[in-house]
């Protein structure tokens, strides 16, 4: 099929369908499904969830004829014209490049980005460089059917049209740590799993100016993709989640911190065996759920003075008590 092959040289046939690159988003799929219809028409559907109007607009921009009502999800299967193009326009799919310098000029519209899933967005976090300039954002979706997900949203520029917009796409290059704009002369870095926990831990340490709280993009899944150079010369404390992935995350963070010049690394396990009862630690009456973290602990009433009374050993480098770390 000419449309599928024009959109991607790696287009493939799957049964009666063709799968190719969707021109409406940064597609690593491919995720655009094309089916031969009647009268030379093609029915298409983006499996990643792009609105058909966006796909139609991008197909039209690439030279494909789109007859009929705009409500019809159809396109004429004809080979697009061959306009004069510069060498970077040799392929027919739309390419969006990460452009952090456009973060303040690109319109940010949650409804356009997520469409019918927009009501599921419960939090949005800004990621900045050390100078306080916005680099990208992340959004948390709490879906009752699919569960929690956190997706990166980056300012991008279209190579072909120079159009600027926010896209659901990760940033290029080594990923920055969260809260870099708040890193000044602190001596301790507390690394959490996720922005939600980082914000809760920052609140715990609001009276401790020597502590910088951060996290990684992608949580426990991708500490190896992060630029860890900011932790050089710092004591690193990993506030992990209570599950196997959390322990793996802690080990990866500790190793990367060591390789990038951290003074030492330490494990901060959430208080899984205890609860707060009348302002004091007491035995937990029921098993702790997997994934329990310091955000959950703060909801239960744990404060930094209470947490500092607990000693949880780190199975690795030297153990430093909280009284020394937070001094």
Contacts 24+ apart (CB under 8 A), 103-107: 103/133, 103/134, 103/135, 103/136, 103/155, 104/134, 105/155, 105/164, 106/155, 106/156, 106/164, 106/165, 106/166, 107/165, 107/166
For the chain, give the mean pLDDT. 81
Express each pLDDT in 227-241 by its tens digit: 999 999 999 999 989
* Dihedral angle over CA of 200, 152, 191, 174, nearest 10: -160
- The fraction of the chain above a pLDDT of 90, given in percent, is 42
Q: pLDDT tens-digit profile of 277-322?
A: 988 999 999 998 889 999 999 999 998 888 877 755 433 333 344 4
State how far the Cα of 96 lies from the Cα of 157, in Å rounded to an integer: 5
Q: What is the pLDDT of residues 172-183, one digit of tens each?
A: 889 999 999 999
Choice among 1-15, 208-222, 306-320 with the minimum mean pLDDT: 306-320
Q: How far is residue 224's CA from residue 204's CA, in Å, rounded to a whole number?
A: 27
Q: Going by CATH, does the domain composed of 180-325 fall within 3.90.25?
A: no
pLDDT at position 74 is: 45
Sketch the domain layout of the chain as residue ranges. 2-94, 97-167, 180-325
How far is residue 29's CA from residue 32's CA, in Å, rounded to a whole number?
Answer: 8
User: Residue 292 pairs with which residues in a beta bridge?
Assistant: 242
30 preceded by a cis bond (ω within 30 of 0) = yes
**Total residues belonging to the chain:** 327
* Whole-number CA gyration radius for the chain: 24
Angle, CA of 81, 5 and 71, to the nearest 5°: 75
């Amino acid at each position: 099929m000419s449309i599928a092959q024009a959109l991607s040289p790696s287009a493939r046939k799957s049964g009666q369908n063709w799968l190719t690159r969707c021109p409406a988003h940064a597609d690593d799929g491919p995720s655009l499904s094309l089916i031969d219809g009647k009268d030379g028409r093609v029915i298409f559907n983006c499996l990643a969830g792009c609105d058909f109007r966006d796909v139609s607009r991008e197909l039209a921009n690439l030279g494909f004829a789109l007859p009929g009502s705009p409500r019809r999800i159809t396109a004429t299967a004809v080979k697009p014209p061959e306009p004069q193009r510069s060498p970077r326009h040799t392929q027919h799919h739309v390419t969006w490049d990460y452009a952090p310098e456009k973060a303040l000029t690109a319109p940010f519209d949650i409804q356009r980005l997520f469409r019918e899933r927009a009501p599921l967005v419960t939090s949005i976090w800004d990621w900045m460089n050390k100078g306080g300039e916005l680099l990208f954002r992340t959004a948390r979706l709490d879906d009752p059917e699919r569960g929690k997900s956190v997706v990166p949203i980056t300012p991008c520029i279209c190579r072909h049209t120079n159009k600027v917009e926010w896209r659901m796409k990760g940033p290029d290059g080594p990923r920055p740590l969260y809260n870099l704009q708040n890193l000044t002369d602190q001596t301790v870095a507390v690394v959490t799993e996720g922005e939600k926990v980082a914000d809760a831990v920052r609140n715990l340490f609001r009276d401790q100016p020597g502590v910088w709280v951060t996290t990684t993009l992608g949580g426990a899944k991708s500490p190896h993709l992060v630029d860890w150079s900011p932790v050089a010369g710092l004591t690193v404390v990993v506030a992990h989640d209570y599950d196997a992935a959390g322990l793996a995350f802690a080990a990866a963070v500790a190793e990367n911190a060591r390789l990038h010049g951290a003074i030492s690394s330490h494990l901060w396990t959430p208080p899984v065996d205890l609860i707060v009862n009348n302002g004091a630690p007491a035995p937990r009456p029921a098993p702790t759920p997997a994934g329990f973290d310091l955000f959950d602990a703060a909801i239960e009433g744990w404060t930094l003075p209470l947490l500092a009374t607990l000693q949880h050993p780190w199975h690795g480098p030297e153990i430093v008590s909280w009284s020394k770390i937070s001094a």
